[in-house]
């Protein structure tokens, strides 16, 4: 015989549709976002890896000032155990200042995948990167003027070596609009005959290195082989020059970049890995809060049906049967939400999330697929969390015997005496206090949920002002208007100040590696305005904050190329936000790094040093570059943060509605009785709704310090460990104000629903039998 | 009238003690109850408020525990049963009827009765019982659409449908008017006669001793009288 209790279920669903709808919607919302994200992430990661795997990605590239002799290339290839492929390119600007880097199309290395249109055939045709084309609204068939010449765009591409459009590997952020890459057919490329051509070669190993160390060793083999051939070739050139031969040029390497250091290749992959864990943790926290909300509503049902439960238990219904009965509907709503959430995740949300990634990274065809990992993370584990929390609470609540249920002694404790409230407190306030005490579990769950929703709202709000602050701070703390880093020392005057610089790495366990710029500062510097004590170093404030370094500590930094660790005694901090840096006296710098006493490698200057040889400038940094970094960072965040904020608000409303509804329902008979006694709807609302309102407002206010603490914890223990670079922890007060205002405004909608619910309670409710 | 006999009975209660409260506030509710009820007997437990009638009934039903002594039903001590076994015992052998009907509000009359049938391997025929209870015409109604008497009849139906060995009734007419009470008691009488269940009914209405096979009077937690009623009357002939 089917359990006749099951026949209650559709009726209960109908009677309490609002509650189950909220649970359902909540789940749909969370699961669709997270599963959409995970599926998109997996699809994007797959497209990224496929592009690398199938399209012959380079293992590194070298650029020369002139074309090297074939025998040099053959020797390098042989000694380093690699194949070398020609990978020339030219760079020309179009009419609105975009720099196009155009390669000669080849099928040996970095093969471009056509995403739309076709490959160029002859002169006057070009195929360009699909992301840049999307950003600049360039379509197949459009005409571009590059380097003063008109070209027809015949196709859009994804190149495996440009999944992130970094113009220069030293750039902090990629550039999707002011920089684009493309290919031309060999004939078209040669016919273009650009004056700004770079002679390039890409290498591919015969035996692929696997570990980081193997990759580094392999690239060093290439570098050593190259160095050897350069010395031989250039010695020969010197000899021939000395013998009177003219028109000979020394062969120089202008770029040498192994794949594992190439941001254009690595950045997208690293970025994708980072977000997933955070998203999944977020899902589990939300599910746990929802599970408690559901449990609170079920506890209220138990209290309402105590007599029935007592009778059924006394008649022989087991505790397990009761637990199952009271779990079926919430779980059904939960699983329906999960199902619809997953369907939405696999359809609309997936495409939305793929779109977000596509706004940042240039990839070929993205195919999403059913993903067992995503299913486990978005469905099985949340279901387990939900079942465990609810079953545990129900088993605990139903641990008491049938008699206690019959006597309605549900707490399982001996009856406590009522809390005495001083008569000085007006009656209405004593009434409200009693409501607070009666519904304490509801209110505690509500407060926890509000704080969590508050954290989500703040998270959605904080990044724009934060990044504005970052840009401002970078500008305020810049050492000089320009920093020039030179390939070789080159003298200049006019107020420029020499410095030396080296790049080391952090090695702190559990933290992602950070590159640290170690500056050697000239004595009595007019740019670095704080004196540096002898034998010690100043650390940029971000470095101190991120790694929790204090004055007097010793920090160790690693030189991966020399396999050497350097130690620095920290004298204090220096306000510099552009990069994680160490500042020491230049004399000590040169000593420490084995340089000559007069060595330097760059200039601080407040004016542009146009007199420096352009080809000798390794990098020029100005405050615009840094400001641009914050700007680009926000662009990559903006699409994501808007929905986060609205998600927080929706979560807030649904949760407060569900719990407030429970309180009204629990007191239905009392409300009906107060109506009979002559209280007006407004007065009743004043008693029952004011208590809830107080909890909501107090929770919103309490959320401010708690969210600040929570987010600081997230920054210190999660973000700082997982992201390289530094974002100061600062949340604008406006964010908190906006969170509270949004909370109160959305709560007003809940109040309206509560008043309506109170209005609908009939006076006859109080006259019913105790059924 | 015959005083209690010294033979092995269906329900055996020996030296049953139960107190509530702690320290100075501790109060003995049952102070050594001795009682036997035979299979198929209609036993009425009488006594004033606080005499321990309901506590005794709850201990017999296994929903409360004795501090001392034991209840043995058909040779098995309830105190030796763990929670799971006790539930199974209640499921297999007991039916409960309370003063408050405790019907499931969103199940119809028939479904409420089926809730009891579900527990039994060999339940009675639902529609037949509904006819016996006079509820067949109301079988599709929800409890809120019924009178108090009809609701209590439904509760009795829920308890009886599984054809329990013992039917425990705690003031089943406490919330009902005179005529409805008579109607419910007549029903219990008929069930006892037709299905042969042992019925133990708690009441403070002294007149109801006349409908019992066995009358047990409790006073201050002890059995003050326990006798077989040789002049049993049908409820219809009892006035109060």
Cα–Cα distance measured from residue B116 to residue B111, given in angstroms and rounded to the nearest whole number? 9
Residue B129 lies in a domain: yes
pLDDT higher than threshold 90 for residue A559: no
Residue B84 lies in a domain: no
- The phi, psi pair for A86, rounded to 5°, reads -65, 130
Handedness of CA B5, B10, B14, B17 (dihedral sign): negative
CB within 8 Å: A308 and B159: no
Residue A253 lies in a domain: yes
pLDDT higher than threshold 60 for residue A684: yes
Question: How far is the alpha carbon of B91 from chain A, nearest alpha carbon, in Å?
Answer: 4
pLDDT higher than threshold 70 for residue A627: no
Q: Which residue has the higher pLDDT, A709 or A767?
A: A709
Residue linked to tokens 């590059």: A146
Interface of B with A in 110-139 (CB under 8 A): 111, 114-119
For residues A704-710, average pLDDT: 90
| Residue A641 CB burial class (10 angstroms; 0-12, 13-18, ≥19) | middle
pLDDT higher than threshold 90 for residue A283: no
Residue A21 lies in a domain: yes
Residue B199 lies in a domain: yes
* B42-46 and B198-203 beta bridge pairing: parallel
For residue A62, give every residue at least 6 positions away whose Cβ sits within 8 Å of its Cβ, in sequence order, or none: A200, A201, A203, A222, A226, A253, A255, A256
Residue-wise pLDDT for B2-54, tens only, equals: 444 456 788 999 999 999 888 888 889 999 999 999 999 999 999 988 889 99
For residues B150-171, average pLDDT: 91
CB within 8 Å: A317 and B111: no
| Tokens representing residue A80 in the block | 């380093």
- A84, A76 contact by CB (below 8 A): yes
pLDDT higher than threshold 60 for residue B186: yes
Q: Which residue has the higher pLDDT, A741 or A645?
A: A741
pLDDT higher than threshold 80 for residue A271: no
CB within 8 Å: A312 and B115: yes
Task: pLDDT band for A201, please (50, 70, 90 cuts).
Answer: very high
3-state secondary structure of A77: helix
> Within an 8 Å CB–CB cutoff, is residue B207 touching chain A?
no
* Percent residues over pLDDT 90 in chain B: 50
CA atoms within 13 A on the CB side of A204: 15
**A390 and A456 part of one domain:** no
pLDDT higher than threshold 80 for residue B115: yes
Q: Which residue has the higher pLDDT, A621 or A743?
A: A743
**A409 and A465 part of one domain:** no
- The phi, psi pair for A523, rounded to 5°, reads -60, 145
pLDDT at res. A630: 65
**A39 and A65 part of one domain:** no
- The phi, psi pair for B77, rounded to 5°, reads -80, 130
Residue A155 lies in a domain: yes
| Tokens representing residue A141 in the block | 């068939």
Q: ipTM score of the complex?
A: 0.79
> Within an 8 Å CB–CB cutoff, is residue B2 touching chain A?
no
Number of domains within chain A: 4
pLDDT higher than threshold 80 for residue A297: yes
Residue B187 lies in a domain: yes
Residue B195 lies in a domain: yes
Which residue range forms the structural domain that includes residue A99? 54-266
Residue A421 lies in a domain: no
pLDDT at res. B5: 46
Residue B190 lies in a domain: yes
Size of interface A-B (CB pairs under 8 A): 90
CB within 8 Å: A15 and B119: no
Task: pLDDT band for B1, please (50, 70, 90 cuts).
Answer: very low
pLDDT at res. A560: 66
pLDDT at res. B2: 42
**A595 and A669 part of one domain:** no
* A179-184 and A125-129 beta bridge pairing: antiparallel
Residue-wise pLDDT for A404-414, tens only, equals: 898 887 765 55
| Tokens representing residue A607 in the block | 């004016």
CB within 8 Å: B91 and A4: no
Residue B135 lies in a domain: yes
CB within 8 Å: A315 and B91: yes
Residue B108 lies in a domain: yes
- Give the residue from A611, A637, A667 where a domain finishes: A611
Task: pLDDT band for A197, please (50, 70, 90 cuts).
Answer: confident
pLDDT at res. A588: 95
**A371 and A437 part of one domain:** no
- A414: nearest CA partner in chain B: B21
Q: Which residues of chain A make contact with B105, given a CB cutoff of 8 A?
A: 771
Of A7-11, A193-197, A760-764, B24-28, the range with the lowest mean pLDDT is: A760-764
Q: Which residues of chain B make contact with A307, given a CB cutoff of 8 A?
A: 98, 100, 102
- B59: nearest CA partner in chain A: A403
pLDDT higher than threshold 90 for residue A52: no
- B16, B66 contact by CB (below 8 A): yes
CA atoms within 13 A on the CB side of A288: 8
**A7 and A19 part of one domain:** yes
| Tokens representing residue A627 in the block | 């400001």
Which residue range forms the structural domain that includes residue B112? 39-65+93-233
- B166, B95 contact by CB (below 8 A): yes
**A156 and A278 part of one domain:** no
pLDDT at res. A562: 64
Mean pLDDT of chain A: 86
3-state secondary structure of B159: helix
Residue A482 lies in a domain: no
pLDDT higher than threshold 80 for residue A291: yes
| Count, residues in chain B | 240
- A308: nearest CA partner in chain B: B102
- A549, A536 contact by CB (below 8 A): no
Closest CA to B203 of B66, B62, B49: B49
**A230 and A292 part of one domain:** no
DSSP states of A369-412 as a string? ---HHHHIIIIIHHHHHHHHHHHHHHHHHTTS-HHHHHTT-TTS
For residue A767, give every residue at least 6 positions away whose Cβ sits within 8 Å of its Cβ, in sequence order, or none: A672
pLDDT higher than threshold 50 for residue B216: yes
pLDDT at res. A492: 85
- B94: nearest CA partner in chain A: A315
3-state secondary structure of B76: strand
pLDDT higher than threshold 50 for residue B181: yes
**A252 and A324 part of one domain:** no
Look up the CATH number of the domain holding residue A607: 2.40.40
Number of domains within chain B: 1
R_g over Cα of chain A: 34
**A169 and A239 part of one domain:** yes
**A470 and A519 part of one domain:** no
Of A134-138, A140-144, A350-354, the range with the lowest mean pLDDT is: A350-354
Q: Which residues of chain A make contact with B111, given a CB cutoff of 8 A?
A: 4, 7
pLDDT at res. A341: 92
Residue A422 lies in a domain: no
pLDDT higher than threshold 50 for residue A611: yes
Look up the CATH number of the domain holding residue B108: 3.40.50.300
Cα–Cα distance measured from residue B182 to residue B187, given in angstroms and rounded to the nearest whole number? 8
CA atoms within 13 A on the CB side of A345: 31
**A94 and A158 part of one domain:** yes
Tell me the pTM: 0.72
| Tokens representing residue A714 in the block | 């997230």
User: What element of type H or E holds A288?
Assistant: helix A263-304
């Amino acid at each position: 015989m089917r359990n006749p209790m099951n026949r209650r279920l559709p009726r209960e669903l109908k009677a309490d549709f609002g509650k189950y709808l909220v649970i359902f919607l909540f789940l749909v919302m969370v699961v669709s976002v997270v599963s959409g994200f995970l599926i998109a992430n997996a699809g994007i990661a797959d497209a990224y890896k496929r592009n690398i795997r199938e399209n012959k990605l380079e293992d590194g590239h070298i650029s020369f000032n002139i074309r090297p002799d074939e025998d040099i290339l053959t020797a390098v290839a042989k000694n380093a155990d690699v194949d070398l492929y020609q990978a020339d390119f030219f760079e020309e600007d179009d009419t609105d200042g975009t720099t196009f880097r155009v390669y000669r199309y080849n099928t040996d290395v970095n093969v471009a995948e056509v995403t739309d249109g076709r490959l160029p055939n002859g002169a006057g045709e070009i195929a360009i990167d699909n992301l840049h084309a999307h950003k600049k609204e360039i379509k197949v068939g459009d005409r571009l003027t590059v380097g003063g010449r008109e070209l027809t765009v015949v196709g859009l591409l994804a190149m495996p070596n440009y999944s992130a459009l970094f113009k220069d590997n030293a750039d902090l952020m990629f550039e999707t609009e002011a920089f684009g890459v493309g290919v031309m057919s060999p004939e078209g490329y040669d016919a273009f005959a650009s004056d700004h051509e770079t002679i390039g070669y890409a290498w591919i190993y015969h035996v692929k290195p696997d570990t980081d160390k193997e990759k580094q060793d392999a690239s060093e083999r290439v570098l050593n082989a190259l160095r050897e051939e350069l010395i031989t070739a250039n010695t020969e050139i010197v000899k021939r020059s000395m013998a009177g031969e003219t028109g000979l040029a020394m062969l120089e390497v202008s770029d040498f970049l192994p794949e594992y250091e190439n941001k254009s290749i690595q950045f997208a992959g690293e970025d994708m890995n980072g977000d997933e864990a955070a998203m999944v943790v977020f899902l589990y926290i939300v599910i746990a809060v929802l599970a408690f909300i559901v449990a609170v509503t079920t506890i209220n049902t138990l209290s309402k049906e105590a007599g029935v439960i007592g009778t059924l238990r006394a008649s022989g219904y087991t505790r397990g049967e009761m637990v199952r009965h009271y779990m079926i509907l919430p779980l059904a709503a939960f699983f329906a939400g999960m199902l619809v959430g997953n369907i939405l995740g696999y359809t609309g949300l997936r495409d939305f999330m793929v779109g977000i990634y596509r706004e940042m990274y240039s990839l070929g065809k993205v195919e999403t697929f059913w993903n067992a990992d995503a299913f486990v993370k978005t469905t099985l584990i949340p279901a387990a969390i939900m079942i465990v929390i609810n079953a545990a609470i129900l088993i605990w609540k139903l641990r008491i015997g049938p008699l206690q249920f019959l006597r309605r002694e549900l707490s399982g404790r001996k009856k406590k005496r009522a809390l005495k409230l001083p008569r000085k407190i007006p009656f209405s306030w004593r009434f409200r206090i009693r409501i607070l005490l009666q519904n304490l579990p509801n209110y505690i769950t509500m407060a926890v949920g509000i704080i969590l929703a508050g954290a989500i709202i703040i998270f959605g709000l904080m990044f724009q002002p934060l990044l504005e602050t970052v840009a401002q701070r970078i500008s305020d703390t810049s050492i000089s208007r320009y920093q020039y880093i030179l390939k070789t020392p080159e003298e200049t005057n006019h107020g420029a100040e020499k410095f030396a610089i080296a790049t080391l790495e952090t090695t702190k366990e559990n933290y992602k590696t950070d590159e640290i710029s170690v500056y050697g500062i000239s004595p009595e510097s007019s740019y670095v305005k704080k004196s540096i004590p002898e034998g010690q170093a100043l650390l940029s404030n971000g470095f101190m904050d991120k790694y929790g370094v204090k004055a007097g500590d010793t920090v160790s930094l690693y030189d991966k190329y020399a396999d050497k660790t350097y130690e620095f005694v920290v004298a204090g901090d220096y306000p510099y936000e552009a990069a994680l840096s160490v500042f020491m006296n230049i004399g000590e710098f040169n000593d420490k790094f084995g340089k000559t006493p007069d060595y330097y490698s760059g200039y601080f200057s407040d004016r542009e040093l146009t007199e420096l040889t352009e080809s000798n400038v390794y990098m020029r940094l100005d405050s615009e570059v840094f400001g641009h970094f914050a700007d680009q960072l926000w662009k990559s965040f903006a699409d994501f943060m808007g929905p986060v904020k609205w998600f927080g608000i929706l979560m807030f409303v649904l949760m407060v509605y569900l719990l407030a509804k429970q309180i009204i329902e629990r007191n239905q008979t009392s409300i009906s009785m107060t109506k009979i006694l002559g209280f007006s709807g407004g007065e009743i609302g004043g008693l029952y709704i004011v208590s809830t309102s107080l909890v909501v407002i107090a929770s919103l206010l309490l959320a401010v310090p708690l969210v600040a603490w929570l987010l600081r914890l997230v920054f210190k223990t999660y973000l700082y460990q997982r992201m390289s670079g530094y974002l100061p922890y600062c949340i604008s007060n406006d964010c908190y104000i906006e969170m509270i205002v949004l909370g109160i405004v959305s709560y007003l909608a809940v109040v309206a629903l509560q008043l309506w619910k109170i209005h609908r309670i009939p006076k006859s409710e109080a006259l019913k039998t105790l059924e | 009238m015959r005083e209690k006999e010294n033979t092995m009975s269906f329900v055996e209660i020996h030296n049953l003690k139960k107190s509530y409260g702690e320290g100075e506030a501790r109060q003995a509710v049952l102070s050594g109850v001795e009682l036997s009820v035979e299979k198929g007997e209609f036993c009425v437990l009488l006594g004033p408020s606080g005499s321990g009638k309901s506590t005794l009934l709850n201990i017999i039903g296994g929903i409360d525990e004795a501090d001392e002594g034991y209840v043995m039903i058909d040779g098995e001590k309830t105190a030796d049963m763990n929670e799971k076994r006790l539930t199974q015992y209640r499921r297999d052998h007991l039916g409960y009827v309370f003063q408050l009907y405790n019907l499931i509000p969103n199940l119809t009359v028939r479904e409420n009765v089926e809730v009891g049938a579900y527990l039994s391997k060999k339940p009675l025929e639902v529609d037949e019982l509904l006819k016996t209870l006079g509820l067949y015409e109301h079988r599709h109604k929800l409890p809120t659409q019924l009178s108090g008497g009809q609701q209590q009849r439904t509760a009795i139906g829920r308890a009886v449908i599984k054809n329990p060995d013992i039917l425990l009734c705690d003031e089943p007419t406490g919330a009902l008017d005179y005529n409805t009470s008579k109607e419910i008691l007549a029903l219990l009488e008929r069930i006892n006669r037709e299905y042969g269940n042992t019925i133990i009914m708690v009441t403070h209405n002294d007149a109801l001793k006349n409908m019992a096979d066995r009358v047990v009077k409790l006073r201050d937690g002890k059995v003050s009288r326990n006798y077989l009623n040789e002049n049993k009357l049908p409820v219809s002939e009892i006035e109060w």
